[in-house]
Amino acid sequence: MHSTPTTSPHGTLTRRELLLASAAGAAALTLGGLPATARGAAPVVLPPLPWAEGALAPVISANTISFHYGKHHQGYVTNLNKLTAGTPLADQELAQIVRATAGKAEQAAIFNNAAQAWNHTFYWQSLKPGGGGEPPAALKAKMEASFGSVAACREELSKAATSQFGSGWAWLVADGDALKVVKTGNAETPLTGAMRPLVTIDVWEHAYYLDYQNRRADYVAAVLDKLINWEFALQNLG
């Protein structure tokens, strides 16, 4: 701990005192004297994909994944770290940042980038090569209890994803003991509320436009038939 430099009787630093003060400041920087928020905690990092870029083809091409993950998802992470640098939020985990900034107009930019970073990581986990098909028995039972059948649950997810106006997300969530389908616009996410997200479908145009152009319904149907990761949903169900 270094002492505060004293002043001359006239209230200004002498040349010798100024040199000593400068040396002390340099030593403090070298020894890590800045507070943690100024030094910057470990930033949010872009997690690796759970599969190879081409693993979801032909439903979602490697080209789409390359742009979606490498440009869009990376962009949200980069922007978030810039926005939180030097603030108390830099010390928090991604989900904590999302919850801490939700609904706060003055922190909308941080929320949007944090929520999009979190949503995209969740979306990648919601897909897998050779997905779709019959859900695990425990999840199937929950779907039947809440929707009447697996087909009805799938139809609700499809409707939510295709009817979301503009950019957003369709989610299968747990609300207490029941399952529900909800949709959110832009960066909004169930993470900020009481419902627990199980799987999601990204319906921002960058998720499908290179492969499907304006045919969102075809993209959604292909994801539900061939990629949706019901095992991941079961894990989140707990």
pLDDT tens for 26-39 read 332 222 322 222 23
Q: Please tell me whether residues 175 and 200 are part of one structural domain.
A: yes
148: pLDDT strictly greater than 80: yes
Q: Please tell me whether residues 97 and 151 are part of one structural domain.
A: no
More confident residue, 109 or 22: 109
Q: Please tell me whether residues 145 and 230 are part of one structural domain.
A: yes
Angle at 79 between CA 76 and CA 81, to 5 degrees: 110
Q: Please tell me whether residues 190 and 230 are part of one structural domain.
A: yes
End position of a domain, from candidates 73, 101, 125: 125
Quote the CA–CA distance of 1 and 133 in Å, as a whole number.
63
What confidence score (pLDDT) does residue 238 get? Answer: 85
107: domain range? Answer: 62-125
End position of a domain, from candidates 100, 125, 150: 125
For the four alpha carbons of 213, 219, 222 and 227, in that order, the dihedral sign comes to positive
Residue range 137-162: mean pLDDT, rounded: 98
3 in any annotated domain = no
Q: Please tell me whether residues 149 and 228 are part of one structural domain.
A: yes
The pTM of this model reads 0.82
174: pLDDT strictly greater than 70: yes
Q: Please tell me whether residues 111 and 154 are part of one structural domain.
A: no
172 in any annotated domain = yes
55 in any annotated domain = no
**Residue-averaged pLDDT of the chain:** 86
Please report, for the domain that includes residue 79, its CATH number. 1.10.287.990
Residue range 115-121: mean pLDDT, rounded: 98
200: pLDDT strictly greater than 90: yes
More confident residue, 184 or 4: 184
pLDDT in tens, 43-60: 899 999 999 999 999 999
170 in any annotated domain = yes
Q: Please tell me whether residues 146 and 112 are part of one structural domain.
A: no
Residue range 156-178: mean pLDDT, rounded: 98
35 in any annotated domain = no
What confidence score (pLDDT) does residue 29 get? Answer: 27
What confidence score (pLDDT) does residue 42 get? Answer: 59
138: pLDDT strictly greater than 70: yes
Looking at the structure of the chain, the number of domains it has is: 2
Q: Please tell me whether residues 119 and 142 are part of one structural domain.
A: no
Which residue shows structure tokens 């004297």?
Answer: 33
Q: Please tell me whether residues 118 and 141 are part of one structural domain.
A: no
81: pLDDT strictly greater than 90: yes
Going by pLDDT thresholds of 50, 70 and 90, the confidence category of residue 93 is: very high
Task: Give the pair of three-digit tokens for residue 212.
Answer: 């499907």
Q: Please tell me whether residues 174 and 200 are part of one structural domain.
A: yes
51 in any annotated domain = no
16 in any annotated domain = no
Q: Please tell me whether residues 150 and 79 are part of one structural domain.
A: no
Q: Please tell me whether residues 144 and 231 are part of one structural domain.
A: yes
Please report, for the domain that includes residue 190, its CATH number. 3.55.40.20
Residue range 126-155: mean pLDDT, rounded: 98
Quote the CA–CA distance of 226 and 2 in Å, as a whole number.
63
37 in any annotated domain = no
